[in-house]
Amino acid sequence: MLRREQNELLTQTGPNTPGGRLFRKYWIPALLVEELPNAECAPVRVKLLSERLLAFRDTRDRYGLIDEFCAHRGVSLWFGRNEEGGLRCPYHGWKYDYTGQCVEVPSEPEESGFCKKIKLKSYPLVERGGVLWTYMGPPDKRPPLPEWEFATVPREQSFTSKRLQECNWLQAMEGGIDSSHVSFLHRGELSSDPLFKGAKGNQYNLGDTRPVFEVAESPGGLYVGARRNTEDGNYYWRITQWVMPSFTMIPPRGNHPVHGHFWIPIDDENCWAWSFDYHALRPLTASEIAAMRDGKGIHVRYVPGTFRPMANKDNDYLIDREAQKAGRTYSGVAGIAMQDASMQESMGPIVDRTKENLVSTDNGIIMARHRLLRAIKDLIEKDATPPGVNTQHQRVRSASVVLEPGQAFADAATDALNVRPGVAHSTV
């Protein structure tokens, strides 16, 4: 349960909101690199943190992320002509470069220098690991580029997708640190999904539906450990990483690629669920990539030409009551991603947390909210840099391990929870 004002602090991320200031401390994923496939390609509308922006790639392959609307009469530059080093508004020909600087106002004498007085708001847009990242905070506070492992391994070792989720970012993200739902909502997929099935750990997941939890703060966020019994009296631990503000990494299963998410606010009622898979040591196989493109694992199939999932609220998520009854899927919705999204969207665009009744196994969620609220307070009162900005906080891994009962996961798995170049994830 949260008080109304706490809920608003955490769920509102527009300009000049406390939560918005927090998100504007980080590099966040903005677009897939293939959305701007070549120089002078069509510009792309981007809404992030409740700001309407436009991304484009100019003649010299420079990426720009600028205010969507022309400074002259407010026309959307999505109609613009991407030509000769800038984006030209087709209404009256005003032209902007990749920094948002107006470089031509055809109606004014060139010598007047009028165009120098016009500049659209812009943000940096930088490619890393197949993702275009942006930083929307004050330029003088720009942190180092992100160093998440999935974005720094060779490209053939990772796959990233994004999907529209039609609810606030926080309720989507909270699903990412809520391990206890897996044994119910996703139980069908543990045996059938090509990117999940076959791992020894799945048997422990299915065999013990009442996991016991331990939560500890990590430098950048939280470790959420879920403990289940093994057949020989040891404990099977699944340790999820949450790094501020909205990165979650799911513990690995067998030799499958490791999955994770970023939950990035579009506005207060929609977010992007960024989903990545990578393997620290080997290229992804053709069949793994084919499965990801086919919407398996944590990915989805799309409505053609969009990033909206094929199963969505407009078609009741293609719910199949017979599959639900027969146990092929637990909720009747197919696919891990849409199983989560259908639950979270059904809460409404922004869930009213004053009405919820959390239990002790929700403590990962409680602690994450607490840490976010603390970071917002420290940011507002002391301008303190929040956890997760430091790139060292980003060089983390999730892990699944079997430990003797006396061992603490955060202690025994210290190495496993950090990036170790040339060493595989610790997995069961």
Partner 1 sequence: MSSESAQANAATEARFRIDDANWRQRVVKVMALDRRSEPVVRRLAQGRWGGATFFTASAFAPAPSPNTDMQFSMASWLSDLAGRTKDLVDELNGADLVAMVATAGENLQQVAPVIGEACKAKHVTTIAFVLGSASIPQDALSRTLRQLRPWTLMLVIAPSEEAITETLAALRA
- Site of interaction with partner 1 (CB under 8 A): 1-2, 166-167, 212-217, 269, 313-317, 342, 345-346, 348-350, 352, 355, 357-363, 366-367, 369-371, 373-374, 405-408, 410-411
- C-alpha 392/C-alpha 119 separation (Å) is 35
User: DSSP character for 408?
Assistant: -
When the beta carbons of 1 and 41 are compared against partner 1, the nearer one is 1
Question: Shortest Cβ distance from residue 189 to partner 1 (Å)?
Answer: 21
How many Cα atoms sit within 13 Å of 293 on the Cβ side? Answer: 7
The least CB distance from residue 225 to partner 1, in Å, is 9
Pick the closer one to partner 1 by CB: 102 or 271: 271
Amino acid present at 359: V
For partner 1, which is the closer residue by CB, 49 or 215?
215
Q: What DSSP letter does each residue of 158-181 carry, written as one string?
A: EEEEEEEESS-HHHHHHHHT-GGG
Nearest distance from residue 410's CB to partner 1, in Å? Answer: 8
Q: Which residue in the block uniquely carries the two structure tokens 């930088």?
A: 126
In whole angstroms, the minimum distance from the beta carbon of 213 to partner 1 comes to 5
Residue 332: Cβ within 10 Å count:
19
Residues 6+ apart with CB under 8 A from 411: none
Task: Please report how close the Cβ of residue 137 comes to partner 1 at its closest, in angstroms.
Answer: 25
Nearer to partner 1, 3 or 141 (CB): 3
Of residues 84 and 217, the one with the C-beta less far from partner 1: 217
* Minimum gap (Å) between residue 171 Cβ and partner 1: 12
Tokens of 282: 């080997």
Helix, strand, or coil (residue 198): coil
Nearest to 89 by CA among 76, 108, 103, 107: 76
Minimum CB distance to partner 1 smaller for 125 or for 341: 341
What is d(CA 235, CA 226) in angstroms, rounded to the nearest whole number? 10
CB of 366 to partner 1, least distance (A): 5
Closest contact distance (angstroms) between CB of 173 and partner 1 is 16
The radius of gyration of the chain from alpha carbons, rounded to an integer in Å, stands at 23
Task: For partner 1, give the closer residue by CB, 113 or 219.
Answer: 219
- CA-based nearest residue to 245, from 376, 388, 385: 388
Of 115 and 350, nearer to partner 1 (C-beta) is: 350
Quick one: three-class SS letters along 267-298?
ECCEEEEEEEEECCCCCCCHHHHHHHHCCCCC
Q: Which candidate, 147, 170, 29, places its Cα nearest to that of 389?
A: 147
